Structure 1
Amino acid sequence: MSSHTAPKRQDFPADFRWGVSTSSFQIEGAGREDGKGESIWDRFCAEPGRIRDGSNGLVACDHYHLFPQDLDMAKQLGVNAYRFSIAWPRILPEGRGKVNEAGLAFYDRLVDGMLERGLDPWATLY
């Protein structure tokens, strides 16, 4: 029988990035606030019979309102990177045209909060 020992943090290079990640639809919530448009997942969840219990992303984890506490928890985990996704319907509610300034302001606050806590922001555009 072979014995394995779990790797320790010091086994990794000093510049190794330890991180957490989230998905905008699954975490943000605020689905009808500050000018956010409808996403393909909002539409899918609204179709009867698509989601057995009727769940949707309108509130989700309410990261839109609770992100400072969420970032504090990430920092407490000892990570130094946070991968997040940007919800296009929050930035371009109609899919094209006018940019939603409130949506940009949210992501600006989110990134500022990461930087204040020493978390490297890694954005995914979806």
Structure 2
Amino acid sequence: MADPAAFAFARSDFPEGFVFGAATAAYQIEGARFGGAGPCHWDSFAATPGNVVRAEDGATACDHYHRWEADLDLMRDAGLDAYRFSMSWARVMPEGRGAVNREGLDFYDRLVDGMLARGLQPWATLYHWELPSALSDLGGWRNRDIAGWFADYVTLVMRRVGDRIHAAAPVNEPWCVAWLGHFLGLH
């Protein structure tokens, strides 16, 4: 067994300006059935018998949607500088286009303000592999119209929180979506 002291480090071991942070994905932590969120393609996947162990899904996840303040307190108390979170497209626009779920936008507004109040830099991911089911049913990323739908979603959320976030990534690991998902059909 390795000596735990061998893994100890201090901030001074890292270059000045190094950012210590944590990262999450909305579907994995928020809970998908709260706050007016629409279903996403992972909900459909998890509902298919045999796809996941014990038929578990993201309906509640670890309930970050309701526990976000305590979660941010833990990050602050751990001495982190930043939190990279993702926004659920289906929470903000339940059908992926058209109608906006104000409750979903309000959640991300509170989350970003909560980070800033705790001295955490907000880093946003706008798409972390969570496509609204309605868009998946229309062909998802293979449908040419999705570029416009995604632009509408991104414009909406950036107008709401863009003035307060440190950085934004449009797509988490685009290689996985393109290569594993569409070329190999594995993801």
TM-score by length of 1: 0.91
Matched, 1:111 2:112: yes
**Where does residue 124 of structure 1 map in the other structure?**
125
* Distance (whole Å) between structure 1 residues aligned to residue 65 and residue 111 of structure 2: 9
**Where does residue 16 of structure 2 map in the other structure?**
14
Given that residues 34 and 65 in structure 2 are in contact (C-alpha distance below 8 angstroms), is that contact kept between their aligned partners in structure 1?
Answer: no
Moved >6 Å (runs of 4+): none
Q: SS state of the match for residue 69, structure 1?
A: helix
For residues 55-74 of structure 1, the aligned pairs below 5 Å read 55-74=56-75
* Distance (whole Å) between structure 1 residues aligned to residue 15 and residue 7 of structure 2: 18
* Distance (whole Å) between structure 1 residues aligned to residue 22 and residue 100 of structure 2: 28
Query: Using a 3 Å threshold, how does the CA distance of structure 1 residues 115 and 52 change in structure 2: closer, same or farther?
Result: same
Q: CA deviation at 1:116?
A: 0.3
* Distance (whole Å) between structure 1 residues aligned to residue 90 and residue 102 of structure 2: 12
Q: Which amino acid aligns with 1:124?
A: T
Q: Which amino acid aligns with 1:67?
A: W
Identify the structure with bigger relative contact order (alpha carbons < 8 Å, sequence gap 6+).
Answer: 1
Q: Which amino acid aligns with 1:60?
A: A
* Distance (whole Å) between structure 1 residues aligned to residue 7 and residue 37 of structure 2: 48
Q: CA deviation at 1:118?
A: 0.1
* Distance (whole Å) between structure 2 residues aligned to residue 5 and residue 93 of structure 1: 44
Structure 1: gaps (5+ residues): none
**Where does residue 90 of structure 2 map in the other structure?**
89
Structure 2: gaps (5+ residues): 1-5, 128-187
